[in-house]
Amino acid sequence: MVNTAHLSKVDGAILDKIKQWLGPETDDITRETLKSLIEAGKEEELIDSFYKDLEFGTGGLRGIMGVGTNRINKYTIAMATQGLSNYLLKHYKNEPIKVAIAHDSRNNSDLFAKVTAEVFAANGIKVYFFKALRPTPELSFAIRTLGCKSGVVLTASHNPKEYNGYKAYWEDGAQVIAPHDKNIIDEVQKIKSLADIRFKHEASMIEEIGEDIDELYLKSLKNLSVSPDAIARQHDLKIVYTPIHGTGVVLVEPILKRFGFTNITVVKEQAEPAGNGNFPTVVYPNPEEADALKLAVEKANAIGADLVMATDPDADRVGIAIRNNKGELQLLNGNQTGSLLIHYLLKAWKEKGQFKGNEFVVKTIVTTDLIPKIAAYYGVKSYETLTGFKYIAALIKKLEGKEQFIAGGEESYGYLIGDKVRDKDAIASCAIIAEMAAYAKDKGSSLYDTLLDTYVQFGYYKENLISLTKKGKTGAEEIQKMMKDLRETPPATLAGSKVIRVKDYNDSSWVNPQNGEKGTLDFPKENVLQFLTEDGSLISARPSGTEPKIKFYFSVNEPLKDKSQFEAVSKQLDQKIDRLVTELNIK
């Protein structure tokens, strides 16, 4: 019996949970780890580990790994899987149920994937199990290809090494949405004890997959190529790629070679050994962070490369660097890369005569308005969804058979080309980014000049993101107050321009504060506020759904009459964003 009498700060409810985890349902390692925390008097850590159950949200689980109900571990993973299994069995009564499982390079992801497979199998559900690390978009492809009803990928995306997560997918290969998301959450919340989990299974219920699905996936991606002739002429385009210790190491180089590229340098320090979950060369394995691309940029400068690409651990997002007109490598943000991709694809489709008149592209509400301007020029529909690729996937599904999806994206470095996958896909994105670089070079231009030409043609749209971290209970309350204050006392003017529309997605409403005109928004409800000004500036406030953060998105624009004015106009727009930040008192 473990003595807990010295744990004066730990209340009775938490002690009851601790005692359950010291019981026979857990393994020796878990019990010994927990005993050492108790004996060392680590009260704060014990409280944080057990004061609540790790919340299964609409996207699944994400959290710090460790022992306890508020941590990612084999038991919280198993409880989530038991709840998902229960819902699948209820929803698909008397139907055979198959699921697919993949995992990224994080520490314990392979273990958590194995536990997930075993619990599904113990519930009589057939499992297709990727035997080694694979990208998230390939899981989406596998679900659709193998006729699965659901799927799970073990990943915490770009979070630090201490984190892991569990993302649940539905039969269309997209992350679960209403009503399934809420129904799954209800079933997960019904799992109150480790004794509720089924582990005993038949080994025959789990079938390993790998290279067979890789081949089908790569063939599907190759069909996305629009300009193979340009690649043939520019096949030696110098490309530097880094998987940042993640799953992209498995498929990015193969798809680039399959597209026809012959001069690819992979950053060895971030690729070997494949899938290092300690992410030893970076603080955050996030392609949005300049530091994560530092080694790749250094390698590119050393060899004179034209293009740098970096994918996050589960290879659903990609960051790039291109050479500017001074010969320097310049990082692009997600809005710039997304705009370049959409512009290239629409132009190439038009040149090849591929338009049938029913095509569309998609962006999220916080992604640049440059994209719909480009789409309008080519006569292609542009749709807008809430933030999150599950909403883009839902729109693709809704329009399936009626309209043809070309591409979509969001400012956070996630893009999708074609509809064979239903989540953001950095493998496909790397291939098409390289293709558009080859296309530009083949025309005697560059991606940098293409970007400036786009601004001259459609206007210079510049965006910025400020993300404020507010940890703990007080942080959550502070975020709530910020949103409450913005709703109750919205700004009348911003940076000298009248606010002509306030959109509140929380109650699906909009109002023009200048004349009192009101209307409704045709979107699911989400805690987002947007302010549109008379001069076309757009400011969005959005608390994160997965992290203790509130994000403020800024989009401003000005005409760019000539490329020579780019730096001057860029400076003007930076000053405007600074003024907006000051006026909104964001800190």
Query: Could you tell me the two tokens for 544?
Result: 């994160």
Amino acid, res. 255: I
Q: How far apart are the C-alpha atoms of 530 and 457, rounded to whole Å?
A: 26
Distance CA 417, CA 342 (A): 9
Cα Rg, the chain, nearest whole Å? 25
Do the bridges between strand 329-331 and strand 359-364 make them parallel or antiparallel, or are there none, so unpaired?
unpaired
The residue annotated as part of the active site, out of 157, 339, 382, 429, is 157
- In 3D space, the residue among 338, 390, 422 whose CA is nearest the CA of residue 137 turns out to be 422
Taking the C-alpha atoms of residue 303 and residue 238, their distance in angstroms, rounded to an integer, is 8
Handedness of CA 494, 370, 292, 318 (dihedral sign): positive
Please state, in angstroms and rounded to a whole number, the distance separating the CA atoms of residues 480 and 250: 42
Residue carrying the six token digits 């893009």: 415
Gap between the Cα atoms of 419 and 90, Å rounded: 29
Q: Distance between CA atoms of 486 and 509, rounded to whole angstroms?
A: 15
Strands 126-130 and 206-209 come out as parallel
Rounded distance between C-alpha atoms, residue 152 and residue 423, angstroms: 13
Instruction: Please state, in angstroms and rounded to a whole number, the distance separating the CA atoms of residues 167 and 154.
Output: 6
| Bridge partner list, 501 | 532
Amino acid identity of residue 137, one-letter, is P
- Yes or no: say if 518 and 511 are a contact pair by the CB < 8 Å rule: yes
Amino acid identity of residue 107, one-letter, is N
- Tell me the CA distances in angstroms from 370 to 373, 460, 563, one per residue in order: 5, 8, 17
Catalytic: 157? Answer: yes
Taking the CA atoms of 9, 12, 14 and 16 in sequence, report the sign of the dihedral they define: positive
Supply 259's token pair: 């597209």
Q: How far is residue 150 CA from its own chain's centroid?
A: 19
Which residues are identified as catalytic?
Answer: 157
